[in-house]
Structure 1
């Protein structure tokens, strides 16, 4: 058996692992684009509602819509975050070991370990991103619920306000659970 024919199975495994990595990397890029889009939609929708209210074209009770929009978009953002985390774990736990073994080099796909050991070693390195996230996702619906409270004047408005509070609480609980798993590592 020639050296070339012995190398064929190794090459096939490496090529297959790299093809799978490439597909998953593309999916991660799409998830990142989705997250940025959701964040932009959240900011744009909130800004549009506040602008209409400040221009006095619509009643201030329209702020009751903000928690519903923000929570829906926040949960979609959370879904993207969880999916991206699982893809990263799969790459690190399934594809990387195969390539490390076949290439006989533990530096293959070492980015995850490198970033956790250097850039994300302390919580301070992620502080700007975390603060921006906190300002957009939880603060906007809370501010709208607080600001609209003085003008809640009907049973429907109260029902919408209580529903907004319940959705907001659900989102906070969901994000608290997620942050323990993924966000604050």
Structure 2
């Protein structure tokens, strides 16, 4: 096999890296879109449940569904958030250095690098995301669990309540573990 000139090899590396970046960017967009859908489902689902209870079309025990809905969607939301972070790290740690080496220009992916330094990793910039997550995924199920306690008049309701509480504790532990490195960074 004959060695290719450095410029031709660099050109192939750049083409491959850009193709990989484009695929990862599409995947990132899909995860972001899924996160927005999850939040919308959470808001809509909880609004329907609370609406039925407040309009007396269902008993307050229906609120037992709130922790299951919010926490399941919250765990899925965090999974997508982790995937988005992994993609960003891969682009920053693997693709960008490869392109910088191949092109000799350290301005490659300047916008990505600027976003990472000045928005994503800057303290306090994730406040809206933190607050919406805390409100929708942590506070809403807690209110549902507390509100329904006086109406737990059957063993099955208590079993559902304990299951919701267990999920809530799981979500709190997961959020605390994950937030140390992402939310409060």
Aligned to 1:123: 123
1:174 is matched with 174
CA offsets 1:37-94 (integer angstroms, 9 cap, x no match): 0111011100000001111111110000110111111111111011111111111111
Q: Distance in 2 between matches of 1:153 and 1:87?
A: 48
Query: Who is 1:150 aligned against?
Result: 150
Q: Deviations over 1:83-134 (max 9, x none)?
A: 1111111111110100011111112123454234323564333222221221
Q: What does the per-residue CA deviation read over 1:138-166, in whole Å, with 9 as the maximum and x for residues that have no partner?
A: 11101100111111111111111111111
Unmatched runs of 5 consecutive residues or more in structure 1? none
> Over aligned residue pairs, what C-alpha RMSD do you find?
1.7
Work out whether 1:65 is the aligned partner of 2:65: yes
Question: In structure 1, what is the Cα distance between the partners aligned to 2:56 and 2:19?
Answer: 56
| Cα distance between partner residues in 2 of 1:34 and 1:119 | 21
Partner Cα distance (1:65, 1:138) in 2: 14
Q: TM-score, normalised by structure 1?
A: 0.92
CA–CA separation in structure 2 for the residues paired with 1:89 and 1:70: 28
Question: Which residue is equivalent to 1:31?
Answer: 31
Please give the per-residue CA displacement for 1:17-56, whole angstroms capped at 9, x wherever unaligned.
0000000000000000000001110111000000011111
Tell me, in whole angstroms, the C-alpha distance in 1 between the residues paired with 2:111 and 2:13: 21
User: Are the equivalent residues in 1 in contact too, given 2:126–2:183 (CA < 8 A)?
Assistant: no
TM-score by length of 2: 0.92
SS in structure 2 opposite 1:28? Answer: helix
Is residue 140 of structure 1 aligned with residue 140 of structure 2? yes
Secondary structure (helix, strand or coil) at the match of 1:124 reads: coil
Distance 2:120 2:16 in 1: 31
Number of equivalent positions: 182
Q: Secondary structure at the match of 2:125?
A: helix
C-alpha distance in 2 between matches for 1:122 and 1:24: 23
Change over 3 Å in CA distance of 1:19–1:122 after alignment to 2: closer
CA distance in 1, matches of 2:129, 2:14: 35
